[in-house]
Amino acid sequence: MKVDGKPMRTIWLADDGWGVEIIDQTALPHRLVLTRLVDLESAARAIRDMLVRGAPLIGATAAYGMALAMRQDSSDAALAKAAEVLMATRPTAVNLRWAIDDMRRRLTGTAPPQRAAAAYARAAEIADEDVAICRRIGEHGAKLIEIAADRKPKGEAVNILTHCNAGWLATVDWGTALAPIYVAHDAGLAVHVWVDETRPRNQGAGLTAWELGQHGVPHTVIADNVGGHLMQHGMVDLCITGTDRTTASGDVCNKIGTYLKALAARDNAVAFYVALPGPTIDWTIEDGLRDIPIEQRGGEEVSLITGLDAKGEIATVRITPETSAVANYAFDVTPAHLVSGLITERGVCQASQTGLRSLYPEVSAD
């Protein structure tokens, strides 16, 4: 989408044809910093330290990480090691695994001297496929926004609440949850987005607000506590979030706090949609609450907050007493029965086994 009026992606091959460039998202929204990945380690670090985040972008970065690794050493041992190192970076993201498995399978069947070229080509394909998938998610989801618009007085903006960042910064372009919003906005529909700040890492306040603002989409940042109040007062027409992992029965594992918004949506008869690309569906599990391990991250993400200080420099402040314990669960599971529908690249379906299999009939039953 647009940055300073010009189209941009989150990851691309450098002009020299082998380096990989990314936006260092830890510097947003205050600075637009581009970072160059040059080897396996820098790609793994970019994922681990969340310079890139969002399931689809993690997948694309891992694919390019495999390519960078093959450029250094294309042996079977190096291939196995690259897969292992990248897999260990983020335990919850299912299409990290998908991208690595896909790359490994193809490269295993390729002779070592051809592996680097094959890896770059496949990584570029994965990135382009993600863009196409997100664009289709956007087209399908935009219809839901149009339906909401038709129910409102003419010209009044459709109010959409989103949590975390499932925008183009979380993918290669377009985004998942925000793709329908970009498609609707670009088509001239009046939309306004309530942006949950999304503690503890503030991806809403920092990333979603930034990318919506750069593309010209009206939005308002709110504390995560506010959504319920807005829904009680008819100020939200629909919710759209992303998901890091979706079970075969339609449970969604997304950024911590998503579940609370889904509860508020149900209590106030507000539609709650979840947007996802097919590769994030984990067909091997049914019960998200029972079967999805929830990543626990360091407590300092809660205690310490980074932003721009009065001098315009990036600084970090502590908000808790030094002696207080802090817990940091990164995701929660929203049961399928709270989800009004899943927006995929193949259309919108019910959040259920039946709904998902109607769109993905090629997936064999267990």
- Please state the closest distance from residue 192 (CB atom) to its own copies, in A: 9
x/- site string to its own copies, residues 7 to 46, per CB under 8 A?
----------------------xx----------------
Sole binder of its own copies in the list 58, 145, 264, 348 (CB under 8 A): 264
- Please state the closest distance from residue 216 (CB atom) to its own copies, in A: 11
- For residues 200 and 143, give the distance between their C-alpha atoms in angstroms, rounded to a whole number: 32
Look up residue 304 and give its two tokens.
């310490």
Output phi, psi for 79, to 5 deg.
-65, -45
Sole binder of its own copies in the list 73, 117, 190, 213 (CB under 8 A): 213
Q: Which is nearer to its own copies, 187 or 317 (CB)?
A: 317
- Please state the closest distance from residue 139 (CB atom) to its own copies, in A: 27
Q: Where are the alpha helices (DSSP H) in 88-238?
A: 94-108, 112-150, 179-186, 203, 209-215, 227-232
DSSP string covering 186-220? HTT--EEEEEE--TTTTHIIIIIHHHHHHHT--EE
x/- site string to its own copies, residues 267 to 286, per CB under 8 A?
x-------------------
Provide the terminal-to-terminal Cα distance of the chain, rounded to the nearest Å: 39
Binding to its own copies (CB under 8 A) within 288-347 occurs at: 289, 294, 299, 302-310, 315-321, 323-329, 331-333
Q: Is 257 in the site for its own copies (CB under 8 A)?
A: yes
Q: Which stretch binds its own copies (CB under 8 A): 7-15, 35-43, 259-267, 271-279?
A: 259-267
x/- site string to its own copies, residues 184 to 203, per CB under 8 A?
----------xx-xxxx-x-
Q: Which is nearer to its own copies, 335 or 347 (CB)?
A: 335
Cα–Cα separations (whole angstroms), residue 360 to 50, 106, 330, 355, 365: 31, 23, 29, 9, 11
Other CB atoms within 10 A of residue 141 CB: 28
Give one word for 164, left, alpha or beta, with left for phi > 0 and alpha for psi -120 to 50: left
Annotated active-site residue 287? The verdict is no
**Residue holding tokens 């603002």?**
213
Binding to its own copies (CB under 8 A) within 236-255 occurs at: 255
- Please state the closest distance from residue 338 (CB atom) to its own copies, in A: 9
Q: Which residues contact 254 (CB under 8 A, 6 or more apart)?
A: 163, 164, 241, 242, 243, 244, 274, 331, 332, 334
- For residues 318 and 291, give the distance between their C-alpha atoms in angstroms, rounded to a whole number: 34
Catalogue the active-site residues: 244
What residues make contact with its own copies under the rule CB under 8 A? 29-30, 194-195, 197-200, 202, 205-206, 209-210, 212-213, 218-230, 232-233, 255-257, 259-261, 263-264, 267, 289, 294, 299, 302-310, 315-321, 323-329, 331-333
